[in-house]
Amino acid sequence: MRQQTDNGNKLSLVLSEARRFGRFLLSEMKPKGKIVTPFNVFAAAVLSIAAVLLFIRFTQGLGATTNLSQDFPWGIWIGFDVITGVAFAGGAYVITFMVYILRLEKYHPIVRITVLNGFLAYVFYAGALLFDLGRPWNVINPIIGNSFGVSSVMFLVAWHFMLYMIAEFIEFSPAAAEWLGWKRVRKLLGSLTLGAVIFGITLSTLHQSGLGALFLMARNKIHPLWYSEFIPILFFVSSIFAGLSMVILEGTISQRVFRKQITPQHHAAHDDIVIGLARVCAGTMYVYFFLKVLVFIHGQHWNYINTPMGWWFLLEVVGFVLIPVRLFTQAVRFRNLSLIRVAAVLTLVGIVLNRLNVSIIAFKWYAVERYVPSWMELEITLGVVVAEILVLRWIVNRMPILREPPDWALRRPEAIRKTDFVVKEGEEKQWAVTNM
């Protein structure tokens, strides 16, 4: 009898907790700000057009929406969305390396926003790959193991994308647990962070370079100034400063847009963070520039320099690598933040140029009929970017990404003991071990 009452009490407790949780989720689903803003109207328009175009794409084939051809099988959905987008998302592995491996605590305030950005970039930009796949229903084939094409670089990239998304989700998940108030889950997820970070950096090294390795077999199709067996290394090194430049640019924007959520201390520390990042950018860009020169000399392609493709190559390497790296160096020396932002933007343009050159512009440079993306391809790409921004905003407005985590999540053990009444003596010891 007594047992039954206990059970009844427990059940009603669980039910009321579940109801409370349901109400919380429902209230969080509602928009937090004004609904009709210029950006929202723009986003709604872009997304509804993209939805219509995607319907056409999936019912009538890729030819109905894209300008892809037998000569140019890959367009901007690969060249920009995936290959450039993933380079831009490189900030996550660089920042987690700096904070969790090198323990440069200075950069801790930007970890969560960078990891979230990286995670969403993979979900949306790598997710946009599904639009480009001709037969997306077979996308699980290389994963479920009925046909492992292990000699394919694409196989490696596909697996690494998937695993990296999981790793980034784990890195990001403590913020979600704090938002939901799941204290014990939060501790467990926190304990997984270092493993996920190490795994994530390893995967990033391989798939950032792997995106370049995709083009290794296109050796007689890519202009000699861009084709080299070092493409994977160049892609990897450039992803470091591409990612960091994106972090600088994105930080500049969120410092303004999400100003209310950012603590004054973080706001004050932000300049120092940006200058530090600019310094890392400059260092890796010098290395990259040096590698580019080395590859150029090694390739013995002087004869191509004074041709239209050669001028285009010089524009990329001098205009959007050498000039921004000089600007970064100057800006760091004089602590000039606006100059750092200019350099970051130039760097990002340079990355777009480089990735599009390898995948589209210098690809079959000899072809008579060039590939130029259709407005529909551009519209859908814009839709992917807008959708990512909306989800990012939704999360930042709810979870402790830029703002402080709740008190209980900060790591004073006595605070946990006071508030987290479910932790028993024995269990606590266990957690302490996990956290070592």
Partner 1 sequence: MNRRDFVKTIGGLGVAALAAENARAEDVATPKEFIGILVDTTVCVGCRSCEFACAEAHGFPQPDSDPEVFKKQRSPSTKQWSVVNRFETEKGEVFVKKQCMHCNQPACASACLTKAMLKTEEGPVIWREDKCMGCRFCMLSCPFDVPKFEYESAIPKIQKCNLCWDRLEKGKKPACVEACPVEALKFGTRRELIEMARAQIAKNPDTYMQQIYGEDDAGGTGFLYLASVPFEQLGFRTDLGTVPYPEYSKDYLYAVPVVLTLWPAFLLALSNATKKENDRESYETANGQWK
Q: 364 near 275, Cβ under 8 Å?
A: no
Which residues share a beta bridge with 222? 363
Least CB distance to partner 1 at residue 231 (A): 9
Q: Residue 9 interacts with partner 1 (CB under 8 A)? A: no
Least CB distance to partner 1 at residue 105 (A): 6
Q: How far is CA 374 from CA 61, 126, 401, in A?
A: 14, 20, 37
DSSP 35-82: S--HHHHHHHHHHHHHHHHHHHHHHH-GGGT----SS----HIIIIII
Number of chain positions touching partner 1 (CB under 8 A): 87
Segment holding 122, helix H or strand E: none
Which residue is associated with the tokens 């997710």?
127
Q: Residue 158 interacts with partner 1 (CB under 8 A)? A: yes
Give the residue with the Cβ less far from partner 1, 99 or 321.
99
Give the residue with the Cβ less far from partner 1, 142 or 251.
142
Q: How far is CA 81 from CA 75, 152, 256, 380, in A?
A: 10, 21, 26, 10
Residues between 62 and 91 with contacts to partner 1, criterion CB under 8 A: 62-64, 66, 68-71, 73-74
Give the residue with the Cβ less far from partner 1, 180 or 389.
180
Residue 363 has φ and ψ, to the nearest 5°, of -75, 125
Percent helix, strand and coil across the chain, each to the nearest 5: 75, 0, 20
Q: Residue 280 interacts with partner 1 (CB under 8 A)? A: no
Residues between 302 and 341 with contacts to partner 1, criterion CB under 8 A: none
Least CB distance to partner 1 at residue 83 (A): 12
Q: 383 near 55, Cβ under 8 Å?
A: no
Residues between 197 and 236 with contacts to partner 1, criterion CB under 8 A: 197-199, 201-203, 205-206, 209-210, 213-221, 229, 232
Q: Residue 376 interacts with partner 1 (CB under 8 A)? A: no
Give the residue with the Cβ less far from partner 1, 163 or 337.
163
Least CB distance to partner 1 at residue 51 (A): 17
Among 43, 165, 189, 280, the residue binding partner 1 under the rule CB under 8 A is: 189
The CA distance from 74 to 222, in Å, is 13
The CA distance from 190 to 173, in Å, is 8
| Coil, strand or helix at 222 | strand
The CA distance from 201 to 164, in Å, is 9
Among 40, 191, 374, 397, the residue binding partner 1 under the rule CB under 8 A is: 191
Give the residue with the Cβ less far from partner 1, 269 or 382.
269
Residues between 114 and 153 with contacts to partner 1, criterion CB under 8 A: 132-136, 138-139, 141-142, 146-153
Give the residue with the Cβ less far from partner 1, 93 or 328.
93
Q: How far is CA 371 from CA 59, 66, 73, 147, in A?
A: 23, 10, 9, 32
Question: DSSP character for 216?
Answer: G
Could you give the string, one character per residue 397-426, with x where binding to partner 1 holds by CB under 8 A and - elsewhere? -------xx---xxx---------------
Which part of the chain contacts partner 1 (CB under 8 A), choosing from 44-52, 196-204, 326-334, 369-377?
196-204
Which part of the chain contacts partner 1 (CB under 8 A), choosing from 6-14, 193-201, 293-301, 346-354?
193-201
CA quadruple 246, 252, 257, 261: dihedral sign: positive
Least CB distance to partner 1 at residue 156 (A): 4
Least CB distance to partner 1 at residue 115 (A): 10
Q: Residue 108 interacts with partner 1 (CB under 8 A)? A: yes
Could you give the string, one character per residue 239-278, with x where binding to partner 1 holds by CB under 8 A and - elsewhere? ------------------------x---------------
